[in-house]
Chain A
Amino acid sequence: MSAPKPLEGKYSGPDEHGHFGQFGGIFVGETLMPALEQLNRKYAELKADPEFWAEFDYDLAHYVGRPSPLYFAERMSDALGGARIYLKREDLNHTGAHKVNNTIGQALLAKAMGKTRIIAETGAGQHGVASATVAARLGLECHVYMGVDDIKRQAPNVYRMKMLGANVVGVDSGSCTLKDAMNEALRDWATNVDNTYYIIGTVAGPHPYPMLVRDFQSVIGREAREQCLEMTGRLPDTLVACVGGGSNAIGLFHPFIPDESVAIVGVEAGGHGLETGEHAAPLCTGQPGVLHGNRTYLMNDENGQILDTHSISAGLDYPGVGPEHAWLKDLRRATYTAVTDDETLEAFRYLTRMEGIIPALETSHAIAWVMKEAPKLPSDHIIIVNLSGRGDKDMNTVADIEGLEV
């Protein structure tokens, strides 16, 4: 891993049109443009309102259970014999992942805009569950779009969404995964735009979503920064998080971007290996293009058609990535790499046995990077890993691979 280059000038973004350098923007059909303008105006108004943030903070404290702990994984650090590893425990949030930070914030927006119907897309089901949860709490109708392949591999989350009163809509077009769920959610939104609020679950999509989802998720990094200073007396040396769309990663990274001494590493889904083409690592292998409302790094063929992706984890199985990550890559402020499905499974088992924490398969990608890199680093090197979600939802997938009956 090479040391990050210092940023030239002050980091800010996006600009008023939602551009992060050449990335981001608003690329949707005209029907949705006025809705995005309205959302942008409303968010600008609420962003400047201390009462809005007071309500957000109250919900995070009393409903989600924040702050989430920063946990020193001592046994794992000792066993790997290098860097000291700290886990930011987003898995301990209500609903079991970081996703709820964002849905709490967007639910407040939906309420302020008087919308009566919530839609969401989901891959692993964590965002779907977090959306169904806030919809239940507000008494709003909720429809969650989910690829039929993901419905199969994340069945426990499908049941949870149904329990919460959401309508889970199976999407059987294209690759039957997250990308296609997002297509269908965008179609629903264009059809029901008057009464419907679309809660996008990641830092992708048209402006202002990448910005507002980042703002809501940045609570992760703000807490981690304070907690690290309190526990160790200094800033961490390296931040690590898995990157699909990239919301847990940007949430941890964003508050540290001006801290030039802190290295930032995003770990994409390497699937069967980058050389096989069967992966979901657009930052490692893709090029800039336009999908789902924003310009970003994409996996596409020479004709601009989006490629099928593969990952053991439904939540990372996506051919694009949030535009701010694309920008951080080009600015060389963050480094993006990938680990394979096999390395991920090994990390899943390792953390479970070593620390008694069962991570989500998505999160296990970040753990896999730590297992490879921590032993090479000195014992005064501090790594913070975003433990973005818990692995209960993945029991069926892992049991199938291990040939066990659940």
Chain B
Amino acid sequence: MSRISSCFQQLEASGRKALIPYLTAGDPDIATTLSLMHALVANGADIIELGFPFTDPTSDGPVIQRAVERALANNTSLKDVLDTVSRFRKENADTPVVLMGYLNPVECMGYQAFVDAAEEAGVDGILIVDMPPEESHDLKQIVDKSHIDMIFLIAPTTSDERAAQICAQSSGYVYYVSLKGVTGAGHLDIESVKSNLARFRSQTELPVGVGFGIKNAESAALIADIADAVVVGSALINKIEELQAGTPYSIEDLQQHISLINDMRKAMDC
């Protein structure tokens, strides 16, 4: 069983929902990203989505765009991100890591080389934002021969028929984009998430995570009531934006910048 599946199984057994923070790797620098990953786990993260930067993040709002710019300012490459996962794995054998990003850096590395390196590093899932199932055949063939899960997005605009096709291609979990818009948008509508999730739930046995626009402990708790996982990105990056590149931070130093995760954890477990 994949690390992601066993993670969800354990959570279910203990009656809890998954908390999945997103970080842009290399923001503010790659060493701090590694420390942040450990700090996030210590504060209640179940899975980590690690973004690999791309110059043109068309599905992201201003907060993650800025994070990507900071990561690229110190030349963070996909290879650096994979190295970071390797180093994380040396100290943490259990917490699943999902790589999230845009296709071009992966194309540039080559699909086979990417999947081999990801598996070697201990990556558990990959989510390519701008690669719908229709275009994923070649990559998926390679991923399916590895232990890595391939995660796809479902959006409020997705029809039932299309959702069924997407779910059939997915493994690990399915990521439901909670709103029409970009990451960090301000118009999360819990009722509409609720009705759409009801629509998609019947299509799959896989856990469903919800992300985009979840800003605080209160909305995390509301989403946790209706989904299997809560993904938080921009709201977290807003807090770590103050960190400086080239400064060594201890886990304790980072604690105050990620207190949001601790708050979300508590609210979700209530």
Interface residues, chain A, CB within 8 Å of chain B?
17, 25-35, 173-174, 179-180, 183, 186-187, 190-194, 288-293, 295, 298, 300, 302-306
Contact = CB atoms under 8 A, between A and B. Distances in A.
B108 A187 contact: no
Nearest to B182: A187
Contacts of A30: 132, 152-155, 157-158, 166, 177
A393 B111 CA distance: 44
A298 B155 CA distance: 29
Contact of B135 (A26, A35, A288, A291): A26
Interface string B139-171: 000000000000011111111001000100000
A-B complex: 9 closest residue pairs judged by Cβ atoms: A304-B108, A304-B105, A191-B181, A30-B153, A31-B155, A303-B77, A29-B59, A30-B155, A304-B104
A90 to B, nearest CB: 30
Interface of B: 53-61, 65, 69, 72, 77-79, 102-109, 129-132, 134-135, 152-159, 162, 166, 177, 180-182, 185
B213 to A, nearest CB: 11
B182 A27 contact: no
Given A33-B132, A34-B159, 13 more contacts: A27-B103, A28-B130, A29-B155, A30-B153, A31-B177, A183-B56, A187-B59, A187-B61, A289-B107, A290-B130, A292-B56, A304-B107, A305-B104
A92 to B, nearest CB: 36
21 contacts: A26-B134, A27-B131, A29-B153, A31-B181, A34-B159, A34-B162, A173-B65, A191-B180, A191-B181, A192-B180, A193-B157, A290-B103, A290-B107, A290-B130, A292-B58, A300-B104, A303-B77, A303-B79, A304-B105, A305-B54, A305-B104
A35 B105 CA distance: 26
The dominant DSSP class at the A interface is mixed
Nearest to B130: A27
A385 B236 CA distance: 54
Nearest to A186: B58
A295 B155 CA distance: 23
Given A174-B55, A191-B185, A31 B108 contact: no
Contact of A289 (B78, B108, B166): B108
Contact of A190 (B59, B78, B134): B59
B158 A33 contact: yes
Contacts of B109: 304
A193 B103 CA distance: 23
B160 to A, nearest CB: 11
B119 to A, nearest CB: 20
Given A28-B130, A30-B177, A31-B157, A300 B108 contact: yes
A183 B56 CA distance: 7
A306 B55 contact: yes
A351 B78 CA distance: 48
A192 B152 CA distance: 22
Given A187-B182, A190-B181, A191-B181, A29 B108 contact: no
A291 B56 contact: yes
A104 B67 CA distance: 39
A208 to B, nearest CB: 13
